[in-house]
Amino acid sequence: MRAQLAKFRPEVILLEAEPKEQPQIDSLYALYQKGTLRLEDLPFGRGERYQIGFALARQLGLPSPKGVNYFTSTSQSLLNSGTNIEAYTRDLRLLQTTSRPLRASVQKDSLSLYDYLALANQPELIGLLHRMQFNTPAQVMNGNFAVGGTNTADLGKVDTEYIGAHFITLFYNRNLKIYSNILRAQQQTRAKRVMLLFGLAHVGVLEELFAANPDYEVVHAAKYLKTNKKKLLRLK
């Protein structure tokens, strides 16, 4: 997988880590470059931040990866009532019935991690996730958030009449701030080719934001992560 991604020839790698974590990232990466740090010894050393971000940066002789995340936590199950709630839950179920079998296949070693990530980055799946999170919820009105639902984003009083739109706002606000962090990091490093490593829930909305910015061109991961397992994406 790293060999395929290296073909993009990034000049800087941006991570799903907050800017305030940069001193720690720089310190760990310096040790990793010297060969005095084993990624498997880190608490989350098997995550993409290290196994792709750190490893690919060192392989390509790049500077320390940059953290551009803005963290808030909002669960997809937070929206669970209101007029037209079935429109949202239908998309949510479709996403779950598509993604969960793929994850189970990886865990059982019947699907390679490479193919799993290549499938996850297919435009069809990204489109479904984006629609489920940033479009379909707008149909849901006159409802309430789940009492025990996770949400750390404080955007003021919840507008229960437009409960679905408010739900979208929680996710959109976070991604707007991530977008700002990405722009700042790119402008500071002056890199012309930037690789962004983020969870799939962020991909569709960030692509939309960059598509409207004439200074940037989005290159999809699917261009480099090819797979012949597309029949496993059952998006119906």
Q: Is residue 161 part of a domain?
A: yes
For residue 9, give both structure tokens. 């020839």
Do 89 and 160 lie in a common domain?
Answer: yes
Neighbours of 33 (CB within 10 A): 15
- CA pair distance 165, 139, nearest whole angstrom: 8
Q: How many residues does the chain have?
A: 236
Into how many domains does the chain fold?
Answer: 2
pLDDT tens per residue across all 236 residues of the chain: 999 999 999 999 999 999 999 999 999 999 999 999 999 999 899 999 999 999 999 999 999 999 999 999 999 999 999 999 999 999 999 999 999 999 999 999 999 999 999 999 999 999 999 999 999 999 999 999 999 899 999 999 999 999 999 999 999 999 999 999 999 999 999 999 999 999 999 999 999 999 999 999 999 999 999 999 999 887 76
Do 64 and 87 lie in a common domain?
Answer: no
Q: Is residue 215 part of a domain?
A: no
Do 60 and 80 lie in a common domain?
Answer: no
- CA pair distance 147, 75, nearest whole angstrom: 12
Q: Note whether 89 and 137 are within 8 A (CB).
A: no
Residue numbers of the domain that contains 10: 1-68
Q: Is residue 95 part of a domain?
A: yes
- CA pair distance 137, 131, nearest whole angstrom: 9
